[in-house]
A and B are shown apart, each in its own frame.
Chain A
Amino acid sequence: MRLFEQIRQYNYKRALKYNETYLFFVLIVFGAGITIINPTFLSPENTFDLINSSAGTAILAIGVFLVLMSGGIDVSFTAIAISGQYIAVNVLTAAHVDNLAFAFLVSCSVGIALGAVNASLISLFKLPTLITTLGTLSMFHGGLLAFVGTKAFNTGDLPNCFKAFGQASLFTLTRPDGSMYGLSVYALILLVILIASWLILRYTMLGRGIVAIGGNREAAERAGFDIVRIQYFIYCFVGFLAGIMGIMHVSLLRYSNPNYIVGDELNVIAAVVLGGARITGGSGSLLGTMLGVAMIVILEKNLVLIGLSSYWHQFFIGLIIIVGVSITYYQNLRRTNQRVVFVKE
């Protein structure tokens, strides 16, 4: 009975103001629709598979979310991820080392170093974030292809640790025919990163600083936040996450091609803005971001199921971004217009 009482007292009007609520319902309707067409959609096997393949995107999305919270934008993270992955694979093969921890170390170091390049440009020279990261995207990826190499690594050439990591499971279930499938460790990695980011954002001075810069840079500076230091943290953290994602990506695909990942920026950004994060800063939530990722991944995996060819993918991503940001910013615009006196243009 108490639960019932609580549900009745819950402030629904307040919930309706949040993007996450809408997104959650859209997701449920969407999921239900797909399940009707294809009943295997909700099977544990398919769900595990979805989590497995979306963990990488989700980790990148957390990074992009942090950047958006601080009022910037980063489009170079894909180039950082592929640089981390490809350099790590190269180093491991050249040194004949077969150690996953070492691979993560190399990849994340590359990620942090490239993130620091972004941070230096953005914080020390006060350059616009979009144009800077567009420049570094081109520079990192071009540099990777020109100086490190263009040769793809096939499954046979890859160190074994990647393959083992890609197949490691938290627990396994058995199919009726006797073969095994399981929930990948990727889910655990994602969960750890998610909780860590949430704690940083919510309970540390650094995290509050990120939100404060996004809300009002000037005010944050006067309140005593060290903006240069915070921006270094943000972009290095994005690089670090991209490094992790790079290793996860190669382990899952068992194939390393220096032309992969780059070009998927829009998917990740779409997921984040769909989750309600505003580029003008200071608002949005990690929960929304995760819902956004779920939405994008489910859409991507099930386009064919709905009866549309994969050619529609790009179109839907664009449409989602446009509709998502329009709703978020329109709410904002209406709120400010109510306060401002000279609304008539």
Chain B
Amino acid sequence: MVVVIIIMSAALPNKFLRVINFQSMTNQIPEFGLLAIAMMVTMITGGIDLSVVSTTNLTGVVAALILKNMITPEMASSQTFLLMASAVAAAVALSIVCGIVNGFVITRFGVPPILATLGTQGLFLGIAIIITEGHGITGFPEKFLFLGSGKVGGIPMPFIIFVIVTFLIYIFLNKTKLGLSMYMVGSNPTVARFAGVNNSNVLLKTYMMSGLLAGISSVIMISRVNSMRPGYGYAYLLQAILVVVLGGVDPYGGFGSVLGVVMGIIILQVLQSGFNILAFNPFFKKFIWGLMLLVVMIINFFVAKYKQRAKKLGVST
């Protein structure tokens, strides 16, 4: 990561190391950072959640509708606040429901997570499209925008939310029983089962959690952009997977840490803003992200192979 930052600052000396650049970075990190962490949680259990962006869209649309249709400027501020809170609550609750749908299909019917979440990806996005008829919803109360673009002591509000949530997930994965069970299910489901772990229960909670994280991300998203349109943020799916793989999470399950993923997020964001300064066109960026994902996975393959060989040598001597 340090290498990337140094290269970027050396290549773009006047533009890169500016406070405003870092501030805009901290603005963009939370949205896809939360999605990446949602992806990480599912990958630790050996699954994947392709529906994160669709969950974000659906919950975002519902929250946006509540904000747009129920709040009028003449309302008392306490009432506005209450409705805003209920919009956020509705988004979060709905995102958990989305997660439960995923978890239910995966655990009760034994559907592989890839196919289950591929289906719900279409399903959730489809519902969002039906609700809005494909149009965007714009213009929310000014106070609500504070969540997405406000600042506390110079630090953007979304970034504060992101740090708190990430910290909680870190504690959860490392210090709780459920967190440990998730790693166990990911590295070997059969062994976990014999060790007394209720696999279905763990998986259900995992997908609830990834849904919840996507919901929080959607609240930040709609309040930062001040609009919601179904289909928004589809590039985030690939980026989230890229970040998670970059952060050293094993797609086959069992390994990965929040710290690694946070590193991955920062690397990606640094590159992203570097590309923006260099004014790359979006197609070229799409190409780079795909290429990078593949290169990182190949490097991981060789690293694992090298480690294995080193271990074997150690045993034989």
A317 and B284 contact, CB distance less than 8 A: no
Task: Find B289's partner among A128, A142, A144 (CB 8 Å cutoff).
Answer: A142
- List the B side residues contacting A138 at CB < 8 Å: 238, 286-287, 289-290, 293
A143 and B287 contact, CB distance less than 8 A: yes
Give A345 to B203 CA distance when docked, in angstroms. Answer: 14
A325 and B122 contact, CB distance less than 8 A: no
Least CB separation from A324: chain B residue: B119
- List the A side residues contacting B281 at CB < 8 Å: 146
Bits for A240-256, please: 1 = Cβ < 8 Å to B, else 0: 00000000000000000
Which A residues, 301 to 345, have Cβ-Cβ distances below 8 Å to chain B?
309, 311-322, 325-326, 329-330, 332-333, 342, 345
Give A311 to B130 CA distance when docked, in angstroms. Answer: 5
Bits for B233-257, please: 1 = Cβ < 8 Å to A, else 0: 0000110011001000001100000
Query: Does B129 belong to the interface (CB within 8 Å)?
Result: yes
Which B residues, 127 to 163, have Cβ-Cβ distances below 8 Å to chain A?
127, 129-130, 133-134
Query: Does B116 belong to the interface (CB within 8 Å)?
Result: yes
Task: Find A280's partner among B112, B285, B286 (CB 8 Å cutoff).
Answer: B112
B283 and A145 contact, CB distance less than 8 A: yes
Give A329 to B113 CA distance when docked, in angstroms. Answer: 12
Min CB distance, B60 to chain A, in Å?
16
A322 and B126 contact, CB distance less than 8 A: no
- List the B side residues contacting A135 at CB < 8 Å: 238, 242, 290-291, 293-294, 297
Which A residues, 92 to 147, have Cβ-Cβ distances below 8 Å to chain B?
121, 125-128, 130-132, 134-147
Min CB distance, A128 to chain B, in Å?
5
Give A68 to B127 CA distance when docked, in angstroms. Answer: 28
Give A128 to B253 CA distance when docked, in angstroms. Answer: 11
A321 and B287 contact, CB distance less than 8 A: no
Give A134 to B242 CA distance when docked, in angstroms. Answer: 10
Given that A279-B112, A313-B126, A345-B200 are contacting pairs, would A321 and B119 also be in contact in the complex, using a CB cutoff of 8 Å? Answer: yes
Which B residues, 265 to 317, have Cβ-Cβ distances below 8 Å to chain A?
281, 283-291, 293-294, 297-298, 301
Given that A138-B287, A139-B287, A145-B283 are contacting pairs, would A314 and B129 also be in contact in the complex, using a CB cutoff of 8 Å? Answer: yes
A126 and B110 contact, CB distance less than 8 A: no
Give A311 to B134 CA distance when docked, in angstroms. Answer: 7
- List the B side residues contacting A73 at CB < 8 Å: 114
Least CB separation from B296: chain A residue: A135
Question: How many chain B residues touch A (Cβ–Cβ < 8 Å)?
Answer: 50
- List the B side residues contacting A126 at CB < 8 Å: 301
A322 and B116 contact, CB distance less than 8 A: yes
Give A134 to B237 CA distance when docked, in angstroms. Answer: 10
B130 and A325 contact, CB distance less than 8 A: no
Which B residues, 87 to 130, have Cβ-Cβ distances below 8 Å to chain A?
105, 108-112, 114-116, 118-127, 129-130
A146 and B294 contact, CB distance less than 8 A: no
Task: Find B126's partner among A280, A312, A326 (CB 8 Å cutoff).
Answer: A312
- List the A side residues contacting B108 at CB < 8 Å: 330
B130 and A312 contact, CB distance less than 8 A: yes
Query: Does A173 belong to the interface (CB within 8 Å)?
Result: no
Least CB separation from A266: chain B residue: B122
- List the B side residues contacting A319 at CB < 8 Å: 119, 122-123, 126
Query: Does A273 belong to the interface (CB within 8 Å)?
Result: yes
B290 and A318 contact, CB distance less than 8 A: no
Interface residues of chain B: helix, strand, loop or mixed (majority): helix
Given that A279-B114, A318-B124, A322-B116 are contacting pairs, would A146 and B283 also be in contact in the complex, using a CB cutoff of 8 Å? Answer: yes
A330 and B109 contact, CB distance less than 8 A: yes
Query: Does A269 belong to the interface (CB within 8 Å)?
Result: yes
B289 and A125 contact, CB distance less than 8 A: no
Query: Does A150 belong to the interface (CB within 8 Å)?
Result: yes
- List the A side residues contacting B127 at CB < 8 Å: 315
B301 and A125 contact, CB distance less than 8 A: yes
Query: Does B199 belong to the interface (CB within 8 Å)?
Result: yes
Bits for B198-240, please: 1 = Cβ < 8 Å to A, else 0: 1110000000000000000000000000000000000001100
Give A4 to B226 CA distance when docked, in angstroms. Answer: 69
A318 and B122 contact, CB distance less than 8 A: yes
Give A315 to B120 CA distance when docked, in angstroms. Answer: 9
- List the B side residues contacting A147 at CB < 8 Å: 287
A132 and B297 contact, CB distance less than 8 A: yes
A326 and B111 contact, CB distance less than 8 A: yes
Looking at A128, A134, A138, A141, which has the most chain B CB atoms within 10 Å of its CB? Answer: A138
- List the B side residues contacting A332 at CB < 8 Å: 110
B290 and A322 contact, CB distance less than 8 A: no
Looking at B122, B199, B200, B281, which has the most chain A CB atoms within 10 Å of its CB? Answer: B122
- List the A side residues contacting B251 at CB < 8 Å: 128, 131
Give A279 to B238 CA distance when docked, in angstroms. Answer: 21
B297 and A329 contact, CB distance less than 8 A: no
Least CB separation from A316: chain B residue: B126
Least CB separation from B293: chain A residue: A135
B298 and A131 contact, CB distance less than 8 A: no
Query: Does B41 belong to the interface (CB within 8 Å)?
Result: no
Give A134 to B241 CA distance when docked, in angstroms. Answer: 9
A125 and B110 contact, CB distance less than 8 A: no
Task: Find B294's partner among A139, A273, A309, A320 (CB 8 Å cutoff).
Answer: A139
B123 and A329 contact, CB distance less than 8 A: no
Min CB distance, A72 to chain B, in Å?
10
Query: Does B44 belong to the interface (CB within 8 Å)?
Result: no
Give A37 to B193 CA distance when docked, in angstroms. Answer: 53
Lowest 8 CB-CB distances: which A-B pairs, in order?
A315-B126, A318-B122, A318-B123, A142-B286, A139-B290, A142-B287, A321-B119, A138-B290
Known contacts A142-B285, A318-B119; can you find 19 more A-B pairs with CB under 8 A?
A: A121-B297, A127-B297, A127-B301, A142-B286, A142-B289, A145-B283, A279-B112, A309-B133, A311-B126, A311-B129, A317-B122, A318-B120, A319-B122, A320-B119, A322-B120, A325-B109, A329-B110, A332-B110, A333-B109
Chain A residues at the B interface, C-beta cutoff of 8 Å: 73, 121, 125-128, 130-132, 134-147, 150, 266, 269-270, 273, 279-280, 309, 311-322, 325-326, 329-330, 332-333, 342, 345
5 examples of A-B residue contacts, CB within 8 angstroms: A134-B237, A138-B293, A139-B286, A311-B130, A318-B126
